[in-house]
Chain A
């Protein structure tokens, strides 16, 4: 595909999108997932020149992995490498800066979660994306087979009109030492340093200067499910949040366990329970389920299915016993994003929806701190 950086309404036949990877500092599953699809190919890795050495090192490493140049100037990289799509996986506080720059330059954007640590930054990206008429997608898990099946069953009316949605989202990864492990006199654990160190295991989704709880880092996934299943805005939330497992979260005053009641504008109710519950608490990646109640029935969905079990002598504790199979999440997300560009259609999780989810998360965090229900600040309000 040639250098069209328009809104994707070109009548040219489908071709490959030239992708700039911006701020490639944490887990690499997003660019890897996108580049597994034949429509997307890396042409450059870029970041701002004023970033610290560790950021440049990770960018350089990834650029070498995919055999493209690393450029310490985002605008120049976009311009000179004729990029059409930006893939952003930086620290959370830089997500919207990079997304905004890319969208302003006419690039379609795929961004890692969370959308931002500040709602105003989300607003800015929504404005740019809509003004420039580019496509934006937050990385999500909506295209996992069990989630798509749930959506299809709901859409077909298998349980009647949806009344309540409940999502359990427990990741069984550890996040460093358990609570109580810090010795008297030792300094509190440093958030950014700890998350930088977690890069080797891929558990560094919250890397950045600003500490973030599990709700803020991962909340987009289960809240994305709720939005996927039922298109209604969240009116009000009530939440409990706490650091129950890990010293890192306790030291940095953020949650690793949270529960949220959600009241939707159309009267549908929902709840979300989530946590970084630790390796000891689940034999696999974690317990992730949805319970849906409709006027004519109920539906219980385990996100992990289809899966198979493998056990063997000497099996490492860190190896999952149950292995997900036949998941084409990456392909579906990439395919749907390409289709959205080709047809000027909707993405699986667009900027406006992602912003609404971010607002819901921030309202829940406030509710957790105050013990009071909090109304969600929507863009149109």
Chain B
């Protein structure tokens, strides 16, 4: 059994509570949150025995009670938290991106490597049932080489993204994963007054491949999220679109769209993958490479946004052109 500590998971606690019963070999044993009441409430909800205010406190007093940490803290503190946890020999599931810069990510990855700690980027989108199915079809050669990935992801203003990087990292991870590569060209645009609320990424992959992503957290409060993924391959295409998955509710006036969602399947799949990785079935170097790629592309996008110019892949990192 992998005993997990959940660090600043916020509203994700609800998803964990829903997903965990279907994940074998993984339990939440501790909750870390700077707000004591939040930590205790989450611990109660997840039947976790430990609720503490910091990772330091957790490692000082309960290190033997956990095997792994899942970090959802703000990006600025993720690298330090990751290094602390890895130093203590804990496996890591870290929300994307792991860090704001490649240097920070490299330090954390090296710490994991030297401590034999498994590292997985906690990116939900690639674990959605639709993404998994598309990737299976790609791997089976049914769709041919991907030429275009088109992704719309709109959330409400209560979404937890607090920065441009937090807004786009999960989408970057997904597209890189579908291409099994990172882009050679990155161009970002955003809502001028608030790049953490709305952003567009235009990515160019090798052999003419391309991806266009728009991410928003501007939907009115209380709105259900909207998600659409289209992948156009040389031999076929896949369309995963919430528009196709709504029901109609007639209760006077125009009908209301009611979403038939996929529940917590994305997190469930992600946790199963993490559990397998910790159990030795994962490829640390591949996971580390993917983690770093997400950081590098997200950082390049932030630089592109700032400079209003594209960034081109040069070696391991990106240069503005």
Residues of chain A having any CB pair with chain B under 8 Å:
163-164, 166, 168, 170, 178-179, 238, 240-245, 257, 259, 261, 263, 267, 269, 271, 273, 275, 277-278, 280-282, 287, 289, 291, 293, 295-298, 300, 302, 371-373
Contacts and interface: CB of A to CB of B under 8 A. Distances in A.
A168 B230 contact: yes
Nearest to B205: A240
Interface in B175-221: 185, 187, 189-192, 198, 200, 202, 204, 207-212, 214, 216, 218-220
B234 A244 contact: yes
Contact of A257 (B208, B239, B310): B208
B138 interface: no
A242 B192 CA distance: 30
Contacts of B226: 298, 300
Interface in B205-253: 207-212, 214, 216, 218-220, 223, 226, 228, 230, 232-237, 239, 242-243
B216 A240 contact: no
A242 B228 CA distance: 23
Contacts of B202: 238, 240, 259, 261, 271
A93 B108 CA distance: 58
Given A164-B214, A280-B236, A287-B239, A263 B189 contact: yes
B232 A275 contact: yes
B232 A269 contact: no
B237 A170 contact: yes
Contacts of A296: 220
A237 to B, nearest CB: 10
A259 B310 contact: no
Given A163-B218, A240-B204, A273 B212 contact: yes
B321 A240 contact: no
A293 B190 CA distance: 13
Interface residues of B, number: 45
A275 B150 CA distance: 12
Contacts of B189: 261, 263, 269
7 contacts: A164-B200, A240-B204, A243-B208, A257-B208, A277-B232, A278-B235, A372-B321
A291 B185 CA distance: 24
A179 B219 CA distance: 42
B147 A275 contact: yes
Contacts of A163: 191, 198, 218
A281 B237 contact: yes
Contacts of B321: 371-372
Contacts of A297: 219-220, 223
Contacts of B152: 166, 291
A371 B147 contact: no
A244 B208 contact: yes
Contacts of B284: none
A154 to B, nearest CB: 16
Interface string B304-321: 000011101000000001
B212 to A, nearest CB: 5
B148 A166 contact: no
Given A164-B216, A298-B154, A371-B310, A257 B200 contact: no
Given A244-B208, A271-B200, A287-B230, A238 B310 contact: yes
A245 B234 contact: yes
Interface in B89-123: none
Contacts of A302: 243
A296 B242 CA distance: 19
Interface string B146-183: 01101010100000000000000000000000000000
Contacts of B309: 372-373
A337 B200 CA distance: 37
A242 B202 CA distance: 14
Contacts of A271: 200, 202, 212, 214
Given A243-B208, A372-B321, A293 B198 contact: yes
A281 B309 CA distance: 33
Shortest 8 CB-CB contacts between residues of A and residues of B: A242-B208, A244-B147, A281-B237, A240-B210, A261-B202, A259-B212, A259-B210, A238-B187
A261 B234 contact: no
A373 to B, nearest CB: 7
A261 B236 CA distance: 24
A139 to B, nearest CB: 26
A261 B232 contact: no
Nearest to B219: A298
B239 to A, nearest CB: 6
Contacts of B187: 238, 261, 373
A300 B243 contact: yes
A345 to B, nearest CB: 32
A269 B200 CA distance: 8
Nearest to A286: B237
A291 B219 CA distance: 13
A300 B219 CA distance: 13
A241 to B, nearest CB: 8
A18 B214 CA distance: 48
A293 B204 contact: no
Contacts of A282: 237
